[in-house]
Structure 1
Amino acid sequence: MKKSNANISSPSLCHVLRMVAVALVLVLGSTVAVAQGVIRVSGLVLSKSDKEPLMGVNITDVATRRLITTTDADGRYAANVSSNATLRFSMVGAKSQDVKVKGRSTINVMLDDGDNSLGEITVSTKRITDRIMPEPTDIEVKGNYLTVRTRVRVPREMFGHDTRLVVQPVLHNVTKGTLQLMRPMVYDAREYNRTQDRLYNFNMNDTKEGDPLAQWVTVKTNEMREKGRTNDIIGYSDSVYVEHVKDEYSCDVYMAIENYNRILYRDTTIIARGTVNPLRWLDYNFKASETIDPAFLPKPEVQLRDTHGEVKLQFPIGKAKFKTDDPQNMAEIARMRQQIEDISHSEGATLSGLELSGQSSPDGTYKRNMALAQQRMNFALNYLRSQLPESMRQNVDFKSNARVATWDEAIALMRAGGNTDEADRTEERLSRFRSNDSKSHAAYGLPFYRQLLEGKYLPMLRRVDYVLRYSIYRSLTDDEIRQMYNDDYTKLTRFEYFKLYRAETDADKREKMMRQAIEIYPSYLAAANDLEAHLINTHRSDASLLRKFAGARAPQELNVNQMIALLDGGQYTAADSLSQFVDRNDATSMLLAVNDALNGRCADNYATIARTSARNEVVMLLALKRNKEALQQCVNLPDDDAVSHYLRAICLNRADRPIDAYEELKKAFSMDASLKTVATVDGDVNDLLNMDKNN
């Protein structure tokens, strides 16, 4: 496929100058002049033509010939200089300007556009003599490195004995609209180079005080002459790392020829419109796995949980001992014994306390009732102590208290039982008295005392409450974990989070729980890997999640998931580094083969990938530049797929059949309009788009 040498003629003069100047920014550092009467000088450098800030302007001390600093992206600078210094403001593409400091702390400068006249140029009708001609090329993709290889032809008529050519390739990320400088190429005439060396006291390669472009200089020799022609030809190659290899790129070249004091020529051209990368169409979809290695799963854990039981017993009137054969007491005692039995058989359970609250009814004298309540409590305490196994009595805190119920409590029971009238009459009668003894004496005179109060409600106030307090180590149930999560999600342990999110069926809630687990426990490997698996399987991979975990000590499923995420994100070089920690087996063979191919090792993995589909076979053949075979195989691609027609267009264009290729490309666009955007930066087909414009 023939490449076109597209030339940019529309950018403004200052735009071109600034872009060429960017090359210098990479290598120019700032130094501080130390002299008598040193002052701080700062200011702004603008283009005189459009008043725009100029980045990369060199500011040099004329007397010492030392580079002091350069302007930043806003055209500003600041440096310490001698108060009587003369500063030279210069950049490629602009006229230099000398300014005397004269003790001033602020110096703003406007630079004129440089003189671009070439002088005497002989124009030949048979060859180009007035332009620098970098050869069109492709941007090669290998892993996350983009490589540009080209040759630059320099006509003899343009390059005198006192000139320097600066060629600055710039990688343009079309997707994000950003620029990345590549290594500059600097071509010196021999006399110019010798003069530069003398200018820097025969030390132009000094990194601090020498020629800032010295490390990239190639000096003209007879060997640079192109065979059979009068022009020189210089080879160029450089690779740069890019974070997002799936973005689309082009390569611009900015050029300038200068002599000792002015710019003689400048130009810009595009040498590569997009990347030639058929592997962008490689079809793969890997499923991620949750954490399965038990060594990395949170261990089941038991937590200290407090709980209690309660038993209520009834005593006969005036008696300190309850009847063990009373049906209600028998049921209560049986329940208490079962509770103690459960505690004794619970692993890790300990009985921490037995608390009793003894109570008597208010009828009779208060002193006697309190003594009775204490007696009942003592009887109950001893009885319950006897019910405990000997092994559980140790370190148990026995507590008790006794009280006499009030007549107000008896009246409340009557109202609760539906005897409202009797409760009102009792309340009215007893309200006339203050002491408990007087109220008891007055209650005896109520006509319903024996049947209702003594026979029903007062016995309800004669009891001892037993509260068994014990601690038990156990795992929370799913319901308990969920309740604690709803109350405060920060209180869950790793294992409790693990149980919670793995039991959750709602995908959104599950993702939220995993993110919260990682929020609370940043080093929670299992939760991070499970979250990444979920994201990969829903086509939302995030390679940053597992970055700190992946490597030699990580479980296989995590390293596999991280490789998938890195490949999905176009971070092929990082995926390749991680592949050494992934075992090669039936489950991982395809992942490793795709990784190898995307990192430039296509030949060894052709068979593995090609057999997965007709599309992948064509893609691999194109990547290997086996273009004739790719053209033969592309007939097997399904006609109902837009990418099939796109790949056929690539095959036909590489076979120098542009008309047929254009027809296939149109079919692809009609089926999927988004492919037209890709085609504009795809070096395999973007030259066909000119045919589209002409039609």
Structure 2
Amino acid sequence: MIPKYISTHTRRLALAFMLAFVMLASGVSAQNVVRVTGQVIAKGDNEPLSGVNITDASSKHAYAVTDLDGKFAFNAFNGTTLRFSMVGFNPRNVKLKNGQTNLNVRLEESDVALGEVLVQTKRITDKIMPEQTDINIKGNYLYVSTRVRVPREMFRQDTRLVVQPILNNVTRGKLSLMRPLIYDAKEYHRTQDRLYNFNMNDTVSGDPLASYVTVKSPSLREKGRTNDIIGYNDSVYVDNVKDEYSCDVYMAIEDYTHILYRDTTIIARGTVNPLRWLDYSFAAQKLSDPRFLPKPEKQLRDSRGEVKLRFPIGKAAFDSADPQNAVEIDKLRRQIEDIAHSDGASIQSLSLEGTSSPDGKYASNLRLAEKRMAFASRYIRSHIPSDLSREVAFRSSAKVAPWSAVVSLMKADSLKAETEQMENILKRTKNIDAQGVAIRRLPFFRSLLEAKYLPQLRRVDYTLNYSIFRSLTHDEIKQLYDKDYKQLSKFEFYELFSNEPDQARREEYQRRALEVYPSFLAAANDLQVSLLGHGMSDETLLEKFVGEDAPQEVNTNQLIALLNAGHFSKADSVAAFVNKSEDNRLLLAVNDVLNGRYDDYETVAATGERNECCLLLAMKRNDEAMALAKKLPEDEGLTHYLRAICLNRKDDAVGAYDELMKAFELDLSLEEVAKVDGDVNNLLLDKDKYKK
């Protein structure tokens, strides 16, 4: 596939001057000038084409170059025939019709045989030859370095060479343009300024490729040869260093109006990355600084305890020796003790409610009820420890039971006739004292009401209502979670997942906590610890928390997660926030070597001979690596794979191929890796040469 970002005649003219000059010379009205906009796309895949030159088909004057989206905008005369041209595509002429201001142009990819291109009727047999090279990996950057040989016979004084390396992610079918190399002959370079009014140092109003230009000079002559040689190096960031890559190079020689030569070649297949075999594992760390943990909190909880105290008739004080009162007082004592011994609990309020029977004068009954409440209140308060009662709000209420309460009791016993007589009295008068006078005259008052029902009302029941602030129990939090987890506080979530033994359930709690509280650092860190503990990670979990002021555990865990995910360059940024302590020395050393720094490689090498062998290969210390590879276990496929790398680098392809076959016999999965490994994949391509 020919890349879409190759600029040929990147020229911009002083349109205002030219148009004015032509109009004055020809007497054309300014109304014949129209604004032309539009887009150029590839006919095959409808992708926008950037770098397409738009010129006047007759005068060759340049109007514009399409941008990264294939779009353009410029002024031109009505009726002008525009020429759209680009390296690798057939040019197309489009005439501006009356009133036409928007153009959508489709270019068709040209079909030209590579390697045989005519230059002024002469056949070119020599080629421009970029040297074969490797794609080396440091962190998440892929580095390509090569040299381009330009034969003297192919390069005239009025030409420009465009070299466009393209990184091809074979695994994902994605192309990435690398920095182009532009090689100008001296005459061509001077002409850019003279003929087209280009400022070669201005990439905005001049040549957009100016910063990539190298001008032909004697210093570029290759020693002992007639050709020029130009050095090239560039790097590209990639997310997936384990994918298969190749580096393709597209080349074209052009003069002012034509493409004279073009060719494509592959200069590298696979990536050279011995550290793909580096073996490392680090344990995640839980938060230890209490400042970053949610603070314990008390929640208001309503509780209720009934205390049924019995008072003698007409008395304001109860007898604590009364068997029923003794039971009730003991129950009250236990309730208060439970509150006192509850961690973090306190009594918020205490309410007492009492009712007396309606027998007698209402005012006297109410005063008696109030005295009983006051007595009960003092008695209960005396049993509450001072540390619990200090901020308690005491409330009490007393009332006289209405005669309707007696009616309800009688109805429950199905006394229909007696109930009707009582209801008739209640209907005739609403005054409770008048109701009492009439009811006492009933023939069954003494035998039924005074003997059976009024005593039930004289037995006054008091209810203790209290509210406390306390931490919820684990079971209470789970009940609240199951009902609606969005009601939980941070501390309650923390209590829930910190005390959950089941890993899957614990991770569910942590994810729900982060759903409700996205900035819940403790939940994010604990979830990362859990994931790292079983060989997984999510490098986004702690990303927003990392920094100079973050807990060291968070910075360390994020560094581990990024290394495990293969995002080495991002890990390198996080490493700046990890303390350089002895505990972290190995972690930081691993990060360094994976990002191409080997100052402390001995720390990593000390973790095992195979790791040391990989490091030596990464540092191109091939002889030392070979000596160490010979000591590795013979029954492991990776041992023979590493030996194959060493031998291939020492140009012993036959021995390398033999070792590679042994590696595949012991571990078939290595064959797939070898296909993308620039250290050995040539052995697979040319295997017929190396078979014994």
Normalising by the smaller structure, the TM-score range is: 0.7 to 0.9
Give the superposed CA RMSD: 3.7
Alignment check: 8 A CA contact 1:146 1:241 kept:
yes
Q: What does 1:188-587 correspond to in 2, within 5 Å?
A: 188-201=184-197, 203-315=199-311, 322-337=318-333, 339=335, 349-360=346-357, 368=360, 374=366, 377-387=369-379, 388-389=381-382, 396-404=394-402, 406=405, 409-410=408-409, 423=413, 426-427=415-416, 430=419, 434-435=423-424, 444=444, 454=451, 459-587=455-583
How many Å separate the matches in 2 of 1:117 and 1:98? 23
Distance 1:356 1:433, change over 3 A: closer
Q: Deviations over 1:550-592 (max 9, x none)?
A: 1211122111111101111222222223223222334212111
Gaps of 5+ in 1: 1-14, 124-128, 361-365, 414-422
Using the alignment, how far apart are the partners of 1:483 and 1:171 within structure 2? 56
Q: Counterparts of 1:644 and 1:431 in 2: how far apart (Å)? A: 105
Deviations 1:359-392 (A, max 9, x none): 53xxxxx664966863553232111232225975
Q: 1:411 to 1:503 in 2, by over 3 A?
A: farther
Give me the TM-score of the superposition, normalised by structure 2. 0.83
Offset at residue 139 of structure 1 (A): 1.3
Who is 1:611 aligned against? 606
Write the letter of the residue equivalent to 1:688. L
Change (3 A) 1:480 1:663: same
Residue 91 (1) aligns with residue 92 (2): no
Matched, 1:636 2:631: yes
Matched, 1:22 2:5: yes
Q: TM-score, normalised by structure 1?
A: 0.83
Deviations 1:225-266 (CA, angstroms, capped at 9, x unpaired): 222222221111112333333444221111111121121222
Q: Retained in 2: the 8 A contact 1:200–1:210?
A: no
Deviations 1:193-212 (A, max 9, x none): 22222233252332222122
> Alpha-carbon deviation of 1:165?
1.0
* 3-state secondary structure, aligned to 1:284: coil
Identity %: 50
Structure 2 unaligned residues grouped into runs of 5+: 20-29, 427-434
2:590 maps to a residue whose letter is V
SS at match of 1:531: helix
Change (3 A) 1:374 1:32: farther
Alpha carbons 1:47, 1:54 under 8 Å: kept: yes
Gap change, CA 1:140 and 1:321, over 3 Å in 2: same
Decide whether the 8 Å contact of 2:349 with 2:392 is kept in 1: no
Q: Distance in 2 between matches of 1:665 and 1:373?
A: 106
SS at the partner of 2:423? coil
Aligned mates of 2:512, 2:365 — CA distance in 1:
54
> In the TM superposition, what is the alpha-carbon distance from 1:287 to its structure 2 partner?
1.1
Shift of 1:136: 0.6
Q: Give the partner amino acid of 2:546.
A: A
Q: How many residues align?
A: 649
- Distance in 2, matches of 1:658 and 1:138, equals 17
The superposition leaves residues 606-637 of structure 1 with CA deviations (integer Å, 9 ceiling, x where unpaired) of 32222212211211121121212222222332
Tell me, in whole angstroms, the C-alpha distance in 2 between the residues paired with 1:673 and 1:598. 26
1:655/1:372 CA distance change after superposition, 3 Å: farther
Q: 1:645 to 1:464 in 2, by over 3 A?
A: farther
The answer to whether the 8 Å contact 1:311/1:466 transfers is yes
Letter in 2 for 1:141: I
Amino acid at match of 1:349: S
The 3-state SS of whatever aligns with 1:152 is strand
CA distance in 2 between partners of 1:371 and 1:554 (Å):
70
Matched, 1:81 2:80: no
* CA distances 1:241-296 after superposition (whole Å, capped 9, x unpaired): 33333444221111111121121222111111111110111001111111112232
Tell whether the 8 Å contact from 1:320 to 1:373 is kept in structure 2 after alignment: no
Q: CA deviation at 1:641?
A: 3.2
2: CA distance, partners of 1:31 / 1:647: 61
1:614-669 superposed Cα distances (whole Å, 9 cap, x missing partner):
21121112112121222222233234433333222212222323233223323333
* Aligned match of 2:25: none
**Residue range with higher mean Cα deviation, 562-571 or 190-199:** 190-199
